[in-house]
Amino acid sequence: MEGSWAVLLPSGTMFSFEKLEVVNMKEMEEYKISVDPPLSPFRFTPASLFSLFKSKKQYEKTKLIPPPSLSDVPVELIHHIQSLLPVKEAARTSIFSKAWLNAWQTIHKLRFRFKGMQQEMYYNLMLRALLRYQSNLLTIESFDLGLVISNKETASLVQDWIRHASSPKACLKELLLDISVSTDSSVTLPPEILSSKTLNSIIVTTDDTSADVKLSFHSNPEMILCVSLRVLDLEYVFISDDVLAKLLSVCSLLEKIRLFCCDGLKTVKVKNLVFLRELKIHVLDIEPIVTIINVPNLLKVDYFPLFPPIERPPPFNMDSFRSVTQLVIADVLMDYEFFDTIKSKLLCLESLTLRIGDWAQENFVISSVSLKKLDLQIWTSTQFVIEVCAPQLMSCVCECHEPAPIISFAAGNPKHLKVTTV
């Protein structure tokens, strides 16, 4: 048997083994050794090794250490490797050794993606896995579930699974739900989600297959205790004004908020969130009420009303955007006051995306001392005359209907300029 081994020498010896090669494992007769200062490696027998040491006591302290194997990898590292692999590939690592099998059975990130598959055959397996985690007091740091809900029985199962994963003993930190709901079904997420004090990320999405509410997110505002929440990302999810207001008031550590086409929302109040970096609001309500106050570290803002009213300014005060570097805003009244705010208040702005509707004035000036990237989306038959005063501008991209706008640059054309008509 051949293999690479290491030798642990007693202190005080002048020899160091750079590579120890066991040529005959059974007899342990030949080794390779080098000395310090380095000399040419030579072979020796156990007897010659003994002669290198001053006493038998030193020789007895010498130990052969076997080389590391897959079983020696720390379980934390195994968990990390398995979490980065696709689920099937991660499961296959369990054949490496008992250590890898045990790591797979206790992994802290659970992923169940059943979309496009025969779900019934997996339901019992998934429930057993969650019960095993609960009975053995195993933590679930991340719970990632994707499937189609086709009936009430499936909806009830999903509620139970989420309830198990978000129990206090599980110590859930990240919840990711990607759920499709059929026409005659719906699901209400259990209130335990928002009662978890360890949860720091909620990402829930569903498809918009019809105008009816398909995924409801109800909770008693008094039960909202997720004080560690940092990411709130909801897409096509029903959530009431009261629940959102309580959520935003309790979760003072929020860093990212994304509310995409969430039915039931009319009022969004973002206040006193000093850690907030990213805010994205795509609203369904015709006349939303949006308040943004005291967000000193806000960097990215994206606002898009899907059913914009006629000639309405932004429903929030952009004075709170002094730290914003990326701004996307669509279908609001863009008049002199709007562009003056960009010029005088948004002094850190580097990227600006405007979707310009029929109620923007035909001639306007976009002025910014810090702007580097400008994207214009003009979906109207009006021919706009746009003057851009941005000395640091490097890119300008315009997508529009005919006729194309007339764009001039006071500081010279940017390096990248593209106008596309559709």
Question: Residue 212, class by beta-carbon neighbours within 10 Å (0-12 exposed, 13-18 middle, 19+ buried)?
Answer: exposed
pLDDT at res. 44: 47
From residue 392, give the alpha-carbon distance in Å to each of 300, 396, 406. 19, 11, 20
Which ranges of 34-174 would DSSP assign to H, the alpha helix?
46-52, 56-61, 75-84, 87-92, 98-105, 120-135, 152-165
* Spacing of C-alpha 286 from chain mean position: 30
* Cβ–Cβ under 8 Å, residues 166 and 172: yes
* Cβ–Cβ under 8 Å, residues 289 and 311: no
Q: How many residues does the chain have?
A: 422
Structural domain boundaries in the chain: 3-67
Distance of alpha carbon 33 from alpha carbon 48, whole angstroms: 11
pLDDT at res. 27: 38
Positions of the chain with pLDDT under 70: 1-68, 114-121, 183, 208-219, 308-311, 358-360
Question: Residue 251, class by beta-carbon neighbours within 10 Å (0-12 exposed, 13-18 middle, 19+ buried)?
Answer: buried
Q: From the CB of residue 91, how many other CB atoms can be counted at a distance below 10 Å?
A: 14
* Cβ–Cβ under 8 Å, residues 185 and 152: yes
H-helix or E-strand containing 343? helix 336-344
* Cβ–Cβ under 8 Å, residues 398 and 420: yes
Residue 330, amino acid: A
H-helix or E-strand containing 205? strand 201-206
Helices (H) and strands (E) in the chain, counts: 9, 27
Beta-strand runs (E) in 306-384:
326-330, 351-356, 363-367, 373-378
* Cβ–Cβ under 8 Å, residues 194 and 228: no
H-helix or E-strand containing 249? helix 241-250
Q: Is the dihedral of CA 146, 151, 154, 158 positive or negative?
A: positive
Phi, psi of 36 (to 5 degrees): -115, 115
Peptide bond preceding 314: is omega within 30 degrees of 0, i.e. cis? Answer: no
pLDDT at res. 302: 96
pLDDT at res. 9: 46
* Cβ–Cβ under 8 Å, residues 181 and 158: no
- For residue 222, give the 3-state DSSP assignment: helix
Q: From the CB of residue 169, how many other CB atoms can be counted at a distance below 10 Å?
A: 12
